Structure 1
C-alpha cells in the first residue's frame, strides 16, 4: 500500500485509523508514505504524525516507511516501482483523501482485475472519484457493476502478478510516442490503453468516501472533514468512524459564534443523544451549555398547575389535544426563555438534541452574525432549521444579507437564535395560560399563523422573526426513516383531571394517538 500525503495533518488520525482497521493480515502489508514537501521546508505536522505512527506500528506490518518527495517528483511511479522491487502481489496506490471501509482490499482483490478502482463517494452532493467520467446513476448505485473506463483518478489496485501489469507506468519516459499531458494519471491511462489493458471501477460494494484536498482550500478541507464526521456521528453513533489508536485527532477551538450562550436541550433519560451531540459539537467547535429538558412523561404537579390549555385546541392534522411530550417540549423552551431574561443574555442559540448539522453550517452561523452586525438588523427570533408550511414564493431574502430571509408559517424548534427582546415578548405573551403546541405558538407570535381564532388569544403578535436559507440544521431522522424516535410524538395524549378553579374541573381526552409525518 502506497499513500500520497501532503497537507493532511487534520485527516491523518482518521485515515490511519482506517488503515489499522483494514481486514487484511497486517504481516502481509507493506505501507509506504510519500509526503510531498519542497526543501528546505521545515518538518510539518503531517510529517510528525506519520513518523510517530510508523514508529508505533512497524512491528505489526511487513514493512512501514516514509519517503519525502518534492512537488515535481512523480511519487506514483516511485510507488509502483517500489512495489515491483519488493515483489508485492498487488500495488495499492492511494492518497490520504481516500477513506476506505474495512473490507475494501479483500473485495477489490477478489474482483481479479489487472487494474481496478473502488467507487468512493464524497460526503455531500454527487462528487466522487469518478466525477466527470461516469454519470450519476453509477455514482448513486442505480447501476451496479464493474465497468470499464479509460481514465482513472485513483485509487489504483494493480495486480502485479499479471504479466500485462509490467507495461503499466506513470512515467512518460517509459512510453513511446506519448505526446499528451505530463500528469501521471493521463500517462497511466495511455499506458494501459496502448497495451489493451482494461481499467475497471467497481461500485457493487460500498468502499468508502472521497474528500478531495486538491479541489478545496486547505482551511475549507478541514471544515469539510468536520461536517462529514459530524454527519456520520448523527447517522451511526459515536463509534461510527474510528481514529488511530496511536494518533489523537485535533478539534477546532470551541466557539459561541458571537452569541452569549448556546443551549442544548436534552432529556436526562436520553444519555445516548447527549453523547452523540457532545461529539458533534466537539467536531464542529461549538461551545454549548447543557439544559435539562422537562420530561413530558413525568410532569410534576406544580408544572401542571401553571398551565391552562387554549380552549378547544386540537392538533390541526390529527384533531387531538396536546400530548404529554408536547407539553414537556414547550416547557423546556419556556424555561430557556426565562433563563435568557433572568441573565439578560442579548442573544442565544437553542438546539434540540436530535439535530443534524448541514455542510457549511458553522460558516453560515459566522456570516449570519456578521451580516446582522453590519446591517444593524433588528431581530427577535431566527429559525436555523424548520419545516416550511406556507406556500412557496411568499418569503424573500433580506437586503444586505447572505442567508437571512423573511419567514412564513413554519414548524420545528430544533434550532433557532433568540434575542433578549424576543425572549421577553414570548414570555409576556403568557402562553402557559392558553397553551398550544410550540410549533403553532411561534408563528402566531410573528403573525403568520393561518388560524386567526388561535391568534386572537395573543393580541401582541410582534415577534420580529426570520429564517436562514439554506438551513443550518435538519432533524437527525425523519419519521419515515429507520431509527426514528421522538419523545414528543411517541407519548400519550394528556389525560388528567385537575382543579381549574374553586368549583370548576376539566377532563382532557383519554384517546391515544400517534402522530405521523405531516
Structure 2
C-alpha cells in the first residue's frame, strides 16, 4: 500500500519485521509500586524471556505539590481557567489540581526522553507504575504491531489499557478512539511522530488523558486503542487524586 503525504493520513509504507519497542514507567518510587514494576517484568520474562526482551526504564515523576502553577500560566503553558470555574476532573482542591498537572508533565517528560534518545523508527510504551499486564502482553503486542505494520496503518498513539467507548474498527483488535475515553496507564507511542506529539501536548488545557482523546476526536492526533485491552491498573491508592 502506498504511503500518503498528508499529516493526518492513516497509512505508511514499509514493513521489515517486528518493531523495536522501548518501555518506560513513570514512578515516584514508593516501595509497593517498585515491587509491582518488578513483578510485572518477572511474570512476562518467565513466559517470554527467550522470545521478547523486556526491560523497563524508570522515569522520575514530576511532583505536583512542588509546581508553581502561576509560573506555568505566566509562561503560557497552562490554561488559566484552572483557578476559575475548575473542571471537575481537576478536583476542587488546588493540591489535587497540582498533582494532575504533575502527572501531565511526567508524561510529557517521557515524550522529551523519546525525542532525545528514542529510535525514530521504533516505538515506546509508557506505563504508570500501577500497571498490571495481561499474561500474554508481550505476545499480543508483538502480534498486533506486526499486523499494523503489514497493513500500513499509521498512528500517533495506541492505548493498551483504556476505559470508554470501543470506537471505530481499524483491523483485528485495533480501533480508532471515538466518543469518551479515559486512562493513560499503558499506551504505545509511535516515535516517528514524537515531534508532532510534543507540539500537540505542549499546552496543558486539561488532564492528560482527556486532552489526548479530545485531540484524537478532532483528528489532531491519530489515537488508536486495543480491544480487548492488555493492561489494567492495580488497586493502589492514587498518589494524584489525594
TM-score tier, shorter chain, comes to 0.7 to 0.9
1:348 counterpart = 2:124: yes
* Whole-angstrom distance in 2 between the partners of 1:336 and 1:307: 21
* Number of the residue aligned with 2:51: none
SS of the equivalent of 1:350 reads: strand
The structure 2 residue matched to 1:444, chosen from 196, 207, 214, is: 214
The structure 1 residue matched to 2:190, chosen from 419, 424, 430, is: 419
Structure 2: runs of 5+ lacking an equivalent: 1-17, 46-53
Cα distance change on mapping 1:430 and 1:272 into 2, 3 Å: closer
* Whole-angstrom distance in 2 between the partners of 1:435 and 1:317: 12
* Whole-angstrom distance in 2 between the partners of 1:403 and 1:420: 21
Structure 1: runs of 5+ lacking an equivalent: 1-256, 449-460, 478-483, 491-518
* Whole-angstrom distance in 1 between the partners of 2:22 and 2:130: 19
Larger RCO, structures 1/2 (Cα 8 Å, 6+ apart): 2
* Whole-angstrom distance in 2 between the partners of 1:303 and 1:353: 28
CA RMSD of superposed structures (Å)? 2.6
* Whole-angstrom distance in 1 between the partners of 2:197 and 2:239: 24
How far does residue 414 in structure 1 lie from its aligned partner after superposition?
0.1
Cα distance change on mapping 1:301 and 1:387 into 2, 3 Å: closer
The structure 2 residue matched to 1:309, chosen from 78, 81, 105, is: 78
Tell me, yes or no, if the aligned pair for 1:381 and 1:422 is still in contact at 8 Å. Answer: no
Match runs of 1:100-111 below 5 Å: none
The structure 1 residue matched to 2:36, chosen from 250, 257, 276, is: 276
The structure 2 residue matched to 1:263, chosen from 24, 39, 42, is: 24
Max radius of gyration: which structure? Answer: 1
TM-score by length of 1: 0.37
Tell me, yes or no, if the aligned pair for 1:345 and 1:419 is still in contact at 8 Å. Answer: no
* Whole-angstrom distance in 1 between the partners of 2:71 and 2:153: 37
Cα distance change on mapping 1:396 and 1:301 into 2, 3 Å: closer
Cα distance change on mapping 1:311 and 1:303 into 2, 3 Å: closer
The structure 1 residue matched to 2:238, chosen from 486, 494, 516, is: 486
* Whole-angstrom distance in 1 between the partners of 2:117 and 2:38: 24
How far does residue 306 in structure 1 lie from its aligned partner after superposition?
5.0
1:466 counterpart = 2:224: yes
* Whole-angstrom distance in 1 between the partners of 2:185 and 2:146: 23
SS of the equivalent of 1:278 reads: helix
How far does residue 476 in structure 1 lie from its aligned partner after superposition?
0.7
SS of the equivalent of 2:158 reads: strand
How far does residue 298 in structure 1 lie from its aligned partner after superposition?
2.8
* Number of the residue aligned with 1:17: none
* Whole-angstrom distance in 1 between the partners of 2:71 and 2:23: 25
* Whole-angstrom distance in 2 between the partners of 1:362 and 1:333: 22
Cα distance change on mapping 1:317 and 1:333 into 2, 3 Å: closer
* Whole-angstrom distance in 2 between the partners of 1:291 and 1:274: 12
Cα distance change on mapping 1:469 and 1:297 into 2, 3 Å: same
Cα distance change on mapping 1:410 and 1:289 into 2, 3 Å: same
How far does residue 421 in structure 1 lie from its aligned partner after superposition?
3.9
